[in-house]
Each structure stands twice: as structure tokens, then as C-alpha cells.
A and B are shown apart, each in its own frame.
Chain A
Amino acid sequence: MPDTALLKKKLLHIAATGSVSQFTPEQLHSHYQELNQFLALHKDTLDSIELFNLYELEFYSCILTNHDIEAKAVIDLLLDQFQSNSKSQRIKLLQSIYYEAIGDGKQATQLLTQDPDELSLSRRLVTFSRSDGSDKYIKNLCYYLDLQPSDLSAWAELGNEYKKIGKYQDAIYCLKEILLHEPLAYPVFYKVGLYHYYLFLQELAKPKTRLHDLIQLLTQARDNFLVSVEINDKYDKSWVGLYILANHEFNQDDKFKKKTEKLKSLVQKKVTELHIDISSIIE
């Protein structure tokens, strides 16, 4: 059993970053049990902000692990506590997710459309069009971002949608919007580099592409990977990106070989230092 203070820190970190949405079923299963046990034993030792953040996390854990009765109990508890603030968008969002999960889409839509000024709810409403196909979803995300251009999660979501359909240039534009607000977000720099690389591969496959454009794309991919490792020099994903760039057959041409030699030796040194198993990644 890990130390209580460390466990609390970990759970609050998960709650703040929303990592639970990316957990594998196995991770979700153990996380659900761990959180329930922690709250049962230590909820009295938490301050109110920590407690309600963990209740919110518990709601997501219950919903994603099909524990609907427990999820409803968490919502009821939050409603009891914040009855005076019945307009809370945060609670309405949880309620709508609950209705969506149990298949009551009508009730969920009704909750989300009560007030068009409640933008957090409008954002959730946009996700309902995901089932109508990428184009419709992207259109709705763009409409939402016109109303709320500083919503970084929505830019990230839009970027991801563009990536799925291979529109890397648009995806890069979305990620650059995030970087305007978060100039130290090294994972975003990594993604910008990666999408430039994908774009390079896309262009390379086309029969008529100017060499200058290809070089530009590779340079931008390299620069973004380098900014990422400049902020966090132990970020292995960016080092792998640089390794792949430096060893790409395009760079083995005599014209570019000299220029990439320095990068190649630097990347090789760092890959060895960080014990990154390149062969397994490339396979």
C-alpha cells in the first residue's frame, strides 16, 4: 500500500490532467478500486477542493467502468452540496455525461442546450456530432472555436480530427494556436514536428513535388523536435523523431549528408544516454 500523501498527490494529478480518459481498461479497473478505497479511508483528511476534485474523478472512473449506480450517487452528492448553485456548468456537464452513458441522449441534449451562453456545455454538445462523421464534427468544432477561440482543449481536439483525415497542415495550425498560449508545451512542439514529418511523407509520395518544399518540411519537423528537447531534454519521443529524421534515406543523399552528420552524432549520443531502444520502436 503506497504512502497516503503520495497517493493523494497522484490522484489529484490524474484529476487535474484528465489522464483517466486515456487509461486502458486494465488501468481503469485498478484506478477505480484504488480511488474508491482512498476516498473511503481518507476523505475526512482532505480539504474541500481536494475532496470535490476527487469526487469528480470518481464520477469519471465510475462512468468509464460501467458503475452507473455509483456515478449517480456521486452526482447526487454534488447536487446536495451545491444545491444553491444549481447553474453550475461543471455539475450539468457531469449529469449530461451520465445521461449519455445510460443511453438517454434526449435528456443529455436537453441539459446541454438550456442556455447557449454556457460554453462548456456547448462544447460537450459538439461531441454529439462525432457520430455524424468527421466533416460534420470538424464543422461544429470550428463553429464552437469561433465563439470560444481561447479553448485550448478544443484546438487540440480539432487538430486531432484533422490529423485523422490526413489534413496535417490544418492540424499544425491548430497546434500552433495552443503554442501561442502555452509556449513551453514540449509535447505539442513534438506533435507539430511529427505532423510536419507526416506531411513530408505525404508530399514525398506525390509524383511532382518540389525539392525545396520537401526540404522546408523536414527542416520544420527538425526545428520543432529540437525546440521540444530544448525545453525537456529527456523527452524521448522527440529524440526518436530526430533519430528517424537524421537517418531517413532522403538525408542520406550526398547533398544533405554533410549537414545532417552533426545532428546524427548528437542524436545517437542522446539515444544511448537515455537508453532508448530505437530498434523496437522502428519495428
Chain B
Amino acid sequence: MLFYAIGILLLTHAGYSAFEHHKLASHTIHSALPLDIIVETIVATVIIVFGSITSIKNSPALTLDNEVVTMDSQYLKPIRATDASQLDQIVGVSEYDRFDNRIEFVDVIAKRREYAEWIKEQE
């Protein structure tokens, strides 16, 4: 955010300076854009690009118990399969869990009975 703010500020300043220079040049002799304005523009662009790259971060995730967990790598998603499956391991829900869960085959009667018994125990 700070990089964006500084970059935009510098870019606006460089733009305004270029506008002033153009206005002045149109009344006097035509001259090329001063070097400091060009340098300021380049620096501002570099800062904005840097800010946008560093702002791409891996978002954290919630475990089933609502605990916030983050990946080891702060910026880029891992490429190797062994690292890519790391978040599944931390969160406790993997995309392959569907083979264990098989919601299409869920025994609703048994699950409802189990839940009703648990509720009775809680009372």
C-alpha cells in the first residue's frame, strides 16, 4: 500500500511537472523534457510495479476448528506437488477427501440417529 501511495504521488508530480514544462515551452523556445522528470517517471513506475508484485500474497486459510493457518511460502503458491499439498495437511481438508467422504452415499438415517442420541446426551 505504501509503495502504491509513493509511486502514485511521484507519478502525479512528474505528470504535473511535464504539463508545466509543456505550458512554459509553448510560450518560449521548444526544448526536450528535462531529465529529472523522465527519471521521476521511471522511478515512480518501478515503485508501483514493485508494490503490485509484493502485494500478491498467499491468503491464509481456516481449519475446521476456525484456526487461522498460513503457508510457509509468503508470496507464491508452491509448484512441487509435495509442497502444494501442504496446506491441505494443515487445514485438515484435502481435495482427495471426497473419496473418503462420499456424500452421495451418506447413510442419512444412521447419521440422524447418531446426532439425535448426542443431543439427548447433552440435555
Contact = CB atoms under 8 A, between A and B. Distances in A.
Interface stretch (B20-28, B37-45, B80-88): B80-88
Contact of B108 (A3, A26, A64, A233): A64
Given A19-B97, A182-B96, A231-B85, A25 B103 contact: no
A16 B88 CA distance: 13
A2 B85 contact: no
B115 A17 contact: no
A13 B93 contact: yes
Interface in A1-60: 2-3, 5-7, 9-10, 13-14, 16-22, 25-29, 60
A21 B101 contact: yes
B107 A25 contact: no
A233 B64 CA distance: 22
B86 A234 contact: yes
Contacts, number: 137
| Chain B interface mostly | helix
Given A6-B61, A28-B115, A184-B81, A18 B108 contact: no
A18 B98 contact: yes
Contact of B99 (A14, A100, A188): A188
| Chain A interface mostly | helix
Contact of B102 (A5, A156, A187): A156
B30 interface: no
Given A25-B115, A101-B112, A231-B82, A130 B99 contact: no
A77 to B, nearest CB: 20
A120 interface: yes
B104 A120 contact: yes
Interface in A97-134: 97, 100-101, 120, 123-124, 127, 130
B100 A64 contact: no
Nearest to A9: B61
B115 A19 contact: no
A149 B86 CA distance: 31
A186 interface: yes
Contact of A66 (B61, B64, B116): B116
Nearest to B107: A130
A187 B96 contact: yes
B105 A157 contact: yes
B79 interface: no
Nearest to A60: B103
Nearest to B113: A66
Nearest to A152: B99
B103 A231 contact: no
A127 B107 contact: yes
Contacts of A19: 64, 93, 97, 101
B108 A63 contact: yes
Given A186-B85, A232-B85, 8 more contacts: A2-B62, A7-B62, A10-B91, A19-B64, A25-B115, A152-B99, A232-B81, A235-B89
Question: Which 5 residue pairs are nearest across A and B when measured between Cβ atoms?
Answer: A18-B103, A25-B118, A232-B85, A18-B101, A156-B99
6 contacts: A7-B66, A18-B106, A65-B112, A66-B119, A101-B109, A101-B112
